A and B are shown apart, each in its own frame.
Chain A
Amino acid sequence: MTETTVAEQRRVEAAVPAPRAGRLRRWWSNPWRKPGFLKAVTWGYLAWSILPLFVAILISFNQGRSNSSIQGLGLNWWWGDPSGSLFRDPELHVAIFQSLRLSIGTMLITVPLGVAFAIGLDRWRGRGSGTANFVMLLSFVLPEIVLGVAMFLVVVNVLEFLNLGTVAQVVGLVTYQLSYPVIIVRARLLSIDKEYEEAAMDLGAPPRQAVRRVLLPMLYPAILASFTVVFADSLDDFVTVRYLSGPASSEPLSVKIYNFSRGSPTPAINAAATFLLFATTLVVIVGYLAYRYSTRGQHRDELTALGQV
Chain B
Amino acid sequence: MQHPRERRRGMSRREFLRRSAGSAVALPSLAAVLAACDRPGETASREQINLLVPRPDSPVTLPMNGEPIPTDTPIEQGADLQIFNWVDYVWKAIVRRFVEENAEHDISFSAVTTFNNMEEAVAKLQAGEIEADVFFPTIDVVPKLAVAGLLQPLNHDLIPNLEQNVWDVYQNPYYDQEWRYSVPYTVYTTGISYRRDVISDDEIYGMANPWEILWDPSHRDRVGVYDSYRDTIQTALLKAGITDISTGDPEDLGVARDELLSMLDVVNPRATINGSYKRLPQGEFDLHLSWSGDIAAGWGYVPTYTRDYYENLGYWFPEDRRGPVDNDCIAIPANAPHPRLAHEFINFMLDFENAMDNFSWVGYQPPLNDAQPALLTETEGLYSQVSGWAEPAEYVLPWMEAAVVRQSDFDVGYRQAPLSPEADERWNDVWQQFKAGVTTGG
Contact = CB atoms under 8 A, between A and B. Distances in A.
A156 B273 contact: no
A83 B93 contact: yes
Nearest to B127: A156
A168 to B, nearest CB: 9
Q: Is the interface of A mostly helix, strand, loop or mixed?
A: loop
Nearest to B305: A65
Contacts, number: 52
Contacts of A247: 82, 113, 130-132
B274 A264 contact: yes
Interface string A262-295: 1110000000000000000000000000000000
B111 A90 contact: yes
Contacts of B111: 90-91, 94, 248-249
B301 interface: yes
A91 B110 CA distance: 6
Interface string A231-267: 0000000000000001111000000000100111000
Nearest to B130: A247
A136 B124 CA distance: 31
A117 to B, nearest CB: 31
B131 A164 contact: no
A33 B157 CA distance: 88
B277 A264 contact: yes
Contacts of A83: 92-93
B101 interface: no
A163 interface: yes
B128 interface: yes
Nearest to B128: A163
A15 to B, nearest CB: 63
B379 interface: no
Interface string B265-290: 00000001110011000000000000
B197 to A, nearest CB: 19
Interface string B108-139: 00111110100000001001111110000000
B93 to A, nearest CB: 7
A264 B277 CA distance: 9
Range class of the B interface residue count: 20 to 34
Contacts of B278: 263-264
Contacts of A246: 124, 129-130
Contacts of A164: 124, 127, 129
A129 interface: no
A259 B117 CA distance: 12
Nearest to B278: A264
A264 B301 contact: yes
A248 B114 contact: yes
A209 interface: no
B436 to A, nearest CB: 17
B225 to A, nearest CB: 14
A262 B92 CA distance: 19
Contacts of A259: 87, 114, 116
B303 interface: yes
A94 B128 contact: no
Nearest to B92: A83
Interface string B214-233: 00000000000000000000
Nearest to B113: A248
Contacts of B93: 83
Interface of B: 82, 87-88, 92-93, 110-114, 116, 124, 127-132, 272-274, 277-278, 301, 303
11 contacts: A66-B303, A83-B92, A90-B110, A157-B127, A164-B127, A247-B132, A248-B110, A248-B114, A259-B87, A259-B114, A262-B274
